[in-house]
């Protein structure tokens, strides 16, 4: 098995170099099962010798070889956990189940030489989230508006080309990369299910089975986005009413066939009654009725339905200030708490709007204690620079996961699962911008352990991908603050959607201001921001538990970075930082665009240290980032100068 990945594809964080520390050391693997065999193949591919004293032992706890390692001390390791320690010159990985052994193996790879030095007691590692999932928004065909991968910035799909399933070598290499981060589930197709993709559930099911077979050796299960209208469009029934017996029987039969083809199939992902997708509202039913119908069909086989909470009216009247898209998910779903089946998981975007650069955490995450909630992030950088801007999202996600939304519980504790929209395509660098790989890597690592430091995760990625000798300081200087840098030259203080409509790249302050999408900033000559207070606004702040309902309600207590998300304030309003809103806009936009220039300068230090094609690709993207950041700076500053008439206190050029 090649460890470098398929030809023409740039190795990502698991080139053979990463497994080199194993190459000179004898390794013993004890246990049986598909994933144990995968570990054996990995060890062999790393070139580990077959004779001599073992330096690494990977064993299931049920094997005799585990007996001398005080297994009892670390307690149960579950389906995916492992324990790792080192004694008498031998590193040991123990796991109760084969998947744990695989994750333990990748732990050794991550640590490199350090896994073979010193002595340390057994330490237990179990994932915080039982499912760590990536949703691909891939179409089989190329869609006339959204292309083949919706919001994809890395070329075409790794699964399909020209309407047919591709050679799956690349997918096998992808599964290996994902397993090394801890991801254990993928949904293979777009949540907006078009006619061709709908058939993956029925007559094209063989393609899904082939993908499942390709990723299975790395512990990854396959899920499928399905259309709520499938009983009508595929089954020829007169209705898709979730309470109709014929409809329920159709889902049961169809799901049975899926499991005959793919015994470890994960389940369905559903976007219903949202942005034109069909759903239970069309039949006068609730979203619990809708989700439960599919959950019941999957339950006999152990499958789950991921039901998305991204449900809102995208045909709003922009003149009506009482409507608020931020409220929609909570308004639709919070009253249904307790009504969802055990195998129905409500998939909630991390913020109340739509993956903006800065949003508060969605109040839905704390509002449904009797419902299993998955938090959804976006690895693909739809609103954060589209893989043309170097933006490391680890710090943003870490902030979200650690946010203490409910009394005594942060988001990571409230969520049962973490899901993200994938950023991978058939691009030679996997993610378009080579540095965007770090986001994919960080997603898996944070889903495994949300307490990890995102900057240490970045170090892991640098070591594994670019090697330990590269100018790490330059990379940290480029990436550590890059999310905040992007925020500073784009939309200020929690205001969102100042992007060009449709493709969402580049500035267009009023692009969505007078449209039906519900994404407003309400800038006028006196002020800017959305009043979401209970006192005078949309009442959205009331969806939060204390203390956040009060913190966000209060213009004095609201954090600066979310001020315009929650309040409409005059341009002269003084922030906690001491600056006025208008001066903050000017200052951050000038500074952000300068930091983009600095980022480009820092990359030059890596010339000669990384592969020339990789170096060139990043350089080309940085040129675009610098251009785009200047464009953002000029348009945002000019817009607010013309609206407010307030000149820049520092006298810089604004037209
Ligand atoms: C938005 C995207 C759109 C997706 C939608 C979703 O612009 O392409 O279909 O989210 O999550 O951010 O369903």
Structural domain boundaries of the chain?
A: 16-125, 131-465, 487-530+568-644
Q: Which residues contact 179 (CB under 8 A, 6 or more apart)?
A: 102, 103, 106, 218, 219, 220
271 within ligand 1 shell (Cβ under 6 A) = yes
Query: Ligand 1 mean position to 348 CA, how many Å?
Result: 13
Q: Catalytic: which of 73, 162, 260, 275?
A: 275
Q: How far apart are CA 308 and CA 533, in angstroms?
A: 26
Q: Which residues contact 609 (CB under 8 A, 6 or more apart)?
A: 466, 469, 470, 471
Closest CA to 546 of 534, 536, 538, 537: 534
355 within ligand 1 shell (Cβ under 6 A) = yes
Range with the poorest average pLDDT among 61-75, 240-254, 354-368, 498-512 = 61-75
Q: Give 1's pLDDT tier (boundaries 50, 70, 90).
A: very low
Q: Give 300's pLDDT tier (boundaries 50, 70, 90).
A: very high
Same fold, 16-125 and 487-530+568-644: no
Query: Ligand 1 mean position to 421 CA, how many Å?
Result: 10
H helix count then E strand count, the chain:
21, 19
Q: How far apart are CA 451 and CA 42, in angstroms?
A: 28
Whether the CB-CB separation of 52 and 500 falls below 8 Å is answered with: no
Q: Catalytic: which of 354, 359, 427, 460?
A: 354
User: Quick one: 16-125 is in which CATH superfamily?
Assistant: Chitobiase/beta-hexosaminidase domain 2-like (3.30.379.10)
Determine the average pLDDT of the residues in 194-222.
98
List the structure tokens of 348. 């909630």
151 within ligand 1 shell (Cβ under 6 A) = yes
Q: Give 3's pLDDT tier (boundaries 50, 70, 90).
A: very low
Q: Which residues contact 285 (CB under 8 A, 6 or more apart)?
A: 241, 242, 243
Neighbour tally for 109: CB within 10 Å? 19
Q: What pLDDT does 8 receive?
A: 85
Q: Is 70 helix (H, G, I), strand (E, B) or coil?
A: coil
| Residue 253 DSSP code | H
Residue identifier of the C-alpha nearest atom 11 of ligand 1: 310
Let me know if 275 is a catalytic residue: yes
Query: Ligand 1 mean position to 444 CA, how many Å?
Result: 21
In ligand 1, which atom is closest to the CA atom of 191? Answer: 13
3-state secondary structure 536-571: CCCCHHHHCCCCHHHHHHCCCCCCHHHHHHHCCEEC
Please check the confidence at residue 313 and state whether its pLDDT lies above 80: yes
Let me know if 354 is a catalytic residue: yes
Q: How far apart are CA 314 and CA 294, in angstroms?
A: 25
Q: How far apart are CA 299 and CA 324, in angstroms?
A: 36
Tens digits of per-residue pLDDT, 446-475? 999 999 999 999 999 999 999 999 999 999
Query: Ligand 1 mean position to 250 CA, how many Å?
Result: 28
Q: What pLDDT does 184 receive?
A: 98
Query: Ligand 1 mean position to 271 CA, how many Å?
Result: 10
List the structure tokens of 43. 């060890």
512 within ligand 1 shell (Cβ under 6 A) = no
Q: How far apart are CA 478 and CA 475, in angstroms?
A: 5
Query: Ligand 1 mean position to 148 CA, how many Å?
Result: 14
What CATH number was assigned to the domain covering residues 131-465?
Answer: 3.20.20.80
3-state secondary structure 375-439: EEEECCCCCCCCCCCCCCCHHHHHHHHCCCCECCECHHHHCCEEEEECCCCCCCCCCCCHHHHHH
Q: What pLDDT does 383 receive?
A: 98
Tens digits of per-residue pLDDT, 490-505? 989 999 999 999 999 9
Beta strands 82-87 and 54-60: pairing type? unpaired
Q: How far apart are CA 653 and CA 289, in angstroms?
A: 58
Q: What is the pLDDT of the chain when averaged over all its residues? A: 96
**Taken in order 498, 504, 507, 510, is the CA torsion positive or negative?**
negative
Q: What pLDDT does 30 receive?
A: 98
Range with the poorest average pLDDT among 14-28, 97-111, 349-363, 395-409 = 14-28
250 within ligand 1 shell (Cβ under 6 A) = no
Q: What pLDDT does 655 receive?
A: 84
Tens digits of per-residue pLDDT, 31-82? 999 999 999 999 999 999 999 999 999 999 999 999 988 878 889 999 999 9
Q: Which fold has domain 487-530+568-644?
A: Alpha-d-glucuronidase, C-terminal Domain (3.90.1330)
382 within ligand 1 shell (Cβ under 6 A) = yes
| Residue 336 DSSP code | G
Determine the average pLDDT of the residues in 532-556.
98
The length of the chain in residues reads: 655
310 within ligand 1 shell (Cβ under 6 A) = yes
Q: Which residues of 194-216 are buried (b: 16+ CB within 10 A; e: fewer)?
A: beebbbbbeebbebbbbbbebbb
Residue identifier of the C-alpha nearest atom 13 of ligand 1: 191
Substitution candidate for ligand 1 out of 134, 136, 151 with most atoms within 8 A of CB: 151
In ligand 1, which atom is closest to the CA atom of 349? Answer: 11
Determine the average pLDDT of the residues in 302-325.
93
- Rounded to two decimals, the ipTM of the complex is 0.99
10 within ligand 1 shell (Cβ under 6 A) = no
Please check the confidence at residue 652 and state whether its pLDDT lies above 70: yes
80 within ligand 1 shell (Cβ under 6 A) = no
Please check the confidence at residue 2 and state whether its pLDDT lies above 70: no
Query: Ligand 1 mean position to 354 CA, how many Å?
Result: 8
Q: Catalytic: which of 382, 410, 531, 587?
A: 382
Tens digits of per-residue pLDDT, 266-277? 999 999 999 999
Q: Which residues contact 502 (CB under 8 A, 6 or more apart)?
A: 145
Let me know if 382 is a catalytic residue: yes
192 within ligand 1 shell (Cβ under 6 A) = yes
Q: Give 4's pLDDT tier (boundaries 50, 70, 90).
A: low
């Amino acid at each position: 098995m090649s460890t470098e990945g398929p030809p023409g594809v740039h190795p990502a964080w698991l080139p053979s170099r990463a497994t080199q520390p194993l190459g000179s050391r004898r390794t013993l693997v004890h246990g049986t099962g598909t994933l144990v065999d995968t570990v054996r193949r990995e060890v062999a591919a790393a070139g580990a010798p077959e004779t001599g004293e073992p330096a690494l032992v990977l064993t299931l706890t049920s094997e005799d070889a585990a007996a001398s390692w005080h297994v009892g001390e670390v307690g149960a390791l579950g389906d995916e956990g492992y324990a790792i320690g080192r004694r008498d010159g031998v590193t040991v990985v123990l796991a109760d189940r084969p998947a744990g052994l695989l994750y333990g193996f990748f732990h050794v790879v991550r640590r490199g030489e350090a896994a073979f030095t010193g002595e340390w007691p057994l330490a237990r590692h179990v994932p915080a989230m039982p499912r760590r999932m990536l949703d691909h928004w891939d179409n089989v065909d190329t869609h006339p508006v959204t292309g083949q991968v919706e919001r994809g910035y890395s070329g075409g799909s790794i699964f399909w080309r020209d309407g047919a399933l591709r050679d799956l070598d690349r997918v096998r290499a992808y599964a290996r990369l994902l397993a090394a981060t801890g991801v254990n589930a993928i949904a293979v197709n777009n949540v907006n299910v078009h006619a061709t993709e709908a058939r993956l559930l029925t007559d094209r099911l063989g393609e899904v089975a082939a993908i499942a077979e390709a990723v299975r050796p790395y512990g990854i299960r396959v899920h499928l986005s399905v259309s709520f209208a499938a009983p009508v469009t595929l089954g020829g029934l007169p209705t898709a009413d979730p309470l109709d017996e014929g409809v329920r029987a159709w889902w049961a039969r169809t799901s049975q066939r899926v499991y005959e083809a793919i015994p470890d199939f994960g389940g369905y992902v559903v976007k219903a009654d949202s942005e034109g997708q069909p759903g239970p509202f069309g039949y006068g039913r609730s979203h619990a009725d809708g989700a439960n119908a599919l959950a019941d069909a999957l339950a006999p086989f152990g499958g789950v339905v991921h039901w998305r909470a991204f449900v809102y009216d995208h045909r709003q009247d922009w003149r009506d200030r009482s409507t608020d898209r931020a409220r929609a998910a909570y308004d639709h779903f919070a009253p249904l708490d307790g009504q969802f089946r055990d195998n129905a998981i409500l998939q909630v975007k991390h913020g109340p709007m739509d993956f903006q650069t800065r949003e508060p955490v969605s109040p839905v995450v704390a509002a449904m204690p009797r419902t299993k909630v998955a938090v959804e992030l976006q690895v693909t950088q739809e609103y954060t620079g589209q893989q043309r801007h170097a933006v490391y999202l680890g710090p943003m996600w870490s902030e979200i996961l650690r946010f203490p939304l409910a009394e005594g519980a942060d988001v990571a504790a409230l969520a049962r699962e973490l899901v993200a929209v994938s950023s991978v395509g058939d691009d030679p660098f996997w993610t378009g911008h080579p540095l965007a790989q770090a986001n994919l890597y960080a997603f898996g690592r944070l889903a495994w352990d949300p307490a990890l430091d995102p900057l240490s995760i970045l170090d892991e990625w640098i070591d594994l991908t670019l090697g330990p000798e590269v100018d790490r300081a330059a990379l940290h200087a480029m990436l550590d603050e890059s999310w905040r840098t992007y925020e500073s030259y784009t939309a200020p203080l929690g205001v969102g959607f100042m992007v060009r409509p449709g493709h969402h790249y580049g500035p267009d302050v009023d692009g969505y201001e007078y449209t039906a999408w519900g994404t407003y900033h309400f800038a006028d000559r006196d002020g800017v921001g959305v009043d979401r207070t209970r006192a005078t606004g949309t009442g959205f702040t009331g969806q939060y538990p204390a203390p956040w309902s009060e913190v966000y309600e209060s213009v004095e207590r609201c954090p600066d970075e979310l001020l315009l998300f929650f309040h409409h304030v005059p341009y002269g309003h003084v922030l906690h930082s001491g600056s006025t809103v208008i001066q903050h806009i000017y200052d951050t936009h000038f500074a952000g665009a300068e930091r983009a220039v600095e980022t480009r300068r820092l990359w030059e230090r890596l010339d000669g240290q990384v592969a020339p094609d990789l170096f060139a690709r990043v350089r080309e993207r940085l040129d675009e980032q610098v251009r785009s950041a200047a464009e953002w700076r000029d348009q945002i500053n000019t817009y607010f100068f013309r609206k407010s008439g307030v000149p820049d206190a520092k006298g810089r050029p604004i037209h």
